[in-house]
Amino acid sequence: MSLGTVRMLGTGTSHGVPMIGCHCDVCRSADPRDRRSRASIYIALSDGTRLLVDTTPDLRTQALTYGIERVDAILFTHCHADHVMGLDEVRRFNVLQGAAVPCYGDGPTMAELRRTFAYVFDAADEGGGIPKISLNPVEGPFTVGAQTIVPVPVLHGRRLILGYRVGAFAYLTDCSAIPDESWPLLEGLDTLVIDALRHRPHRSHFTVAGALAAVARLAPRRALLTHICHDLAHEATGAALPPGVELAYDGLTLDI
């Protein structure tokens, strides 16, 4: 039985692709799969619950492009700008739904959101609209609607952030290593989406080879690489990947 669907809203790195002022072959590519907005996914569960993972600076465009009109909860991976700076767009979902939107993440991320978006929590701030949200720090599995969400700690360089598991689907963006204690949380996956920035080493992201090593260990039925920079052309990179592994692209929909 299907748990629902996952839409890849964005599959790019923090600069997006094309990058401003870059004239490389990928940034000038006519292949629409080489156009990558900032990394995010939208999970539509079969019970009607709608989950957004991260609020990128491209959230408004992503929502308009893919017809997103409801967000029941937001799962934050961490508080870097490319994952949170679209938070103000939540105002529109507040109007459509007539309710605040609960946000989940680890304690440091919730604290950083409160600092970064201090105006949201200032009762004296009367200028303009503000997103109505609640911050909910998590340390272990939690429930949204009827679905249990499992936070999966991963390393983003030296910082511990969160990936998420929903049923037999897991999403690990901005990941450079998986701690020993997190591997058991990822056993028995059907579908894995995992960070693979480029071929060249990076201090806080998996390379393609690093991501493939993690995929080989976890052995999901299907694996997709995300958070991709302009080093990787979609068609050429995908042709070199092993069976069962593919390059994700903006707009791709997965059944989970």
What's the pLDDT at 206? 98
CATH code for position 11 = 3.60.15.10
How much is the mean pLDDT over the chain? 97
**Residue range 50-90, pLDDT digits in tens:** 999 999 999 999 999 999 999 999 999 999 999 999 999 99
- Residue showing tokens 């920079």: 229
pLDDT of 125 higher than 90: no
The pLDDT of residue 129: 84
- What pLDDT does residue 127 have? 60
* Position 42 pLDDT exceeds 80: yes
Which pTM was predicted? 0.97
Show the domain range for 101: 4-255
High-pLDDT (> 70) share of the chain, %: 98
% of the chain beyond a pLDDT of 90: 96
- Rounded to 10 degrees, the C-alpha dihedral 184/187/192/197 comes to 40
Q: Could you tell me the two tokens for 208?
A: 């393609």
If one counts the domains in the chain, the total is 1
Mean pLDDT, range 2-9, rounded to an integer: 96
In this predicted structure, the answer to whether residue 36 has a pLDDT above a threshold of 80 is yes
Q: 138-175 burial string, b = 16+ CB within 10 Å, else e?
A: beeebebeebebbbbebbbeeeebbbbbbbebbbbbbb
With a cut of 90, say whether residue 131 has pLDDT above it: yes
pLDDT at 143 exceeding the cut of 80: yes
Report in angstroms the alpha-carbon separations of 44 from 50, 128, 216, 253.
5, 31, 28, 10
pLDDT at 126 over 80: no
Other CB atoms within 10 Å distance of the CB of residue 211: 25
With a cut of 70, say whether residue 128 has pLDDT above it: no
Q: What confidence score (pLDDT) does residue 89 get?
A: 98
CA 76 to chain CA centroid, Å, is 8
pLDDT at 1: 72
